[in-house]
Amino acid sequence: PVVMGIETSCDETGVGIVRGHELLADAIASSVDEHARFGGVVPEVASRAHLEAMVPTVQRALDDAGLTLGDLDGIAVTAGPGLAGALMVGVGAAKAYSIATGVPLYGVNHLSAHIAVDTLENGPIPEPAIGLLVSGGHSTIMMVEDLAGKVVQLGASIDDAAGEAFDKVARLLGLPFPGGPYIDRAAKEGDRAFVEFPRGLSAAKDQEKHRYDFSFSGLKTAVARWIEARRADGEDVPVNDVAAAFQEAVCDVLTRKAILAAKEHGVETILLGGGVAANSRLRGLAAERAEKAGLTLRYPRPKLCTDNGAMVAALGSHLVAAGVAPSRIDFPANSSMDVEVVSLANSL
């Protein structure tokens, strides 16, 4: 099926078009530069930027794919989770395109889309698979039993998301927003073993209740304290080393728990998804440990890890191919959409 996907959950206006697992277009307009000076995404600014970028980005995607709206078999749109006002722009646009053309509409989950995008790179996902979804708002271990409708959350962060920790630590180190890619780059020149920062929820006592959960706020505080102490002593902060040691702490727990989940559930495949899945150390360490454990590791290219429309189109294409019913045309955007809801049903 030929499916167009629309993504507006945060600061990226993304419109992707796929045919089956083939990526035909991936148009993106980002308002990230408008948010950078605030050190975080400003919801009102993001909504307005989506409104301005929506129609031109759809047009650009159609042009790139050499298609018209009439060629589509489905339109998928991120229904949630995300910023309410931002989501509303994408959902409103998708409904308008669907009504105008008669093409069926699918309201889908942004998080499942972060996992589904891998199909564009590596083909159908062997089910069940363990999804490690690490992004600006989430750090979740999911059991993907059926990408068309059955996804179960095994664990998640009990405080900050991994990407949020990257962005906060980057700020402490004086790196630009969003900090993840800058930490990644700085860490390449640093010493991972420079300091041993805490691995949240990894103590023996956490193994029962928080076996697959994460905590990154203690890590962020530990980094902040370390930097403060260093400055109080009048010494320079070795940015590259702190970045490397921090990144190692995050990647260590993420990969260890994802592999544990796979082993304990008898699952052979682990998928990385979300913006933090673009991190070079996470990819490297996960590959190392997966190989040792005899597991298959898959991840999409970095550009498909951060928010984009192709991921929404990829999930939509999977739903259409699986014969899942389209969503009711009057579904609402849901800023706190449940991780386990893959797409919105045809009924209320």
Known binding-site residue numbers: 110, 114, 133-137, 167, 180, 184, 279, 307
135 near ligand ATP, judged by CB under 6 A: yes
Out of 46, 112, 307, 341, which residue is the one contacting ligand ATP (CB under 6 A)?
A: 307
Out of 8, 30, 109, 135, which residue is the one contacting Fe ion (CB under 5 A)?
A: 135
* Minimum CB distance to ligand ATP smaller for 178 or for 326: 178
269 near Fe ion, judged by CB under 5 A: no
Out of 35, 50, 95, 110, which residue is the one contacting ligand ATP (CB under 6 A)?
A: 110
DSSP annotation string for 19-44: ETTEEEEEEEEE-HHHHHTTTS--HH
Cβ-contact 183, 192 below 8 angstroms: no
163 near ligand ATP, judged by CB under 6 A: yes
Q: What is the largest CA-CA distance in the chain?
A: 67
DSSP 337: -
Stretch that binds Fe ion, among 32-40, 50-58, 94-102, 301-309 (CB under 5 A): 301-309
Question: How far, in Å, CA of 186 to CA of 194, rounded?
Answer: 14
Per-residue x/- track, 305-334, Mg ion (CB under 5 A): --x---------------------------
Q: Give the long-range contacts of residues 317-320, CB within 8 A, separation 24 or more.
A: 317/1, 317/3, 317/18, 317/19, 317/20, 317/21, 317/74, 317/76, 318/116, 318/119, 318/147, 318/148, 319/74, 319/76, 319/106, 319/108, 319/148, 319/343, 320/1, 320/3, 320/73, 320/74, 320/104, 320/106
Whole-number minimum distance, CB 151 to Fe ion, in Å? 15
Span 62-91, contacts to ligand ATP by CB under 6 A: 82
Cβ-contact 101, 242 below 8 angstroms: no
Question: How far, in Å, CA of 35 to CA of 274, rounded?
Answer: 20
181 near ligand ATP, judged by CB under 6 A: yes
Whole-number minimum distance, CB 170 to ligand ATP, in Å? 7
Phi, psi of 39, deg, nearest 5? 75, 15
Stretch that binds ligand ATP, among 19-27, 91-99, 176-184, 217-225 (CB under 6 A): 176-184
147 near ligand ATP, judged by CB under 6 A: no
164 near Mg ion, judged by CB under 5 A: no
Whole-number minimum distance, CB 181 to ligand ATP, in Å? 4
Residue numbers at the binding site for Fe ion (CB under 5 A): 135, 307
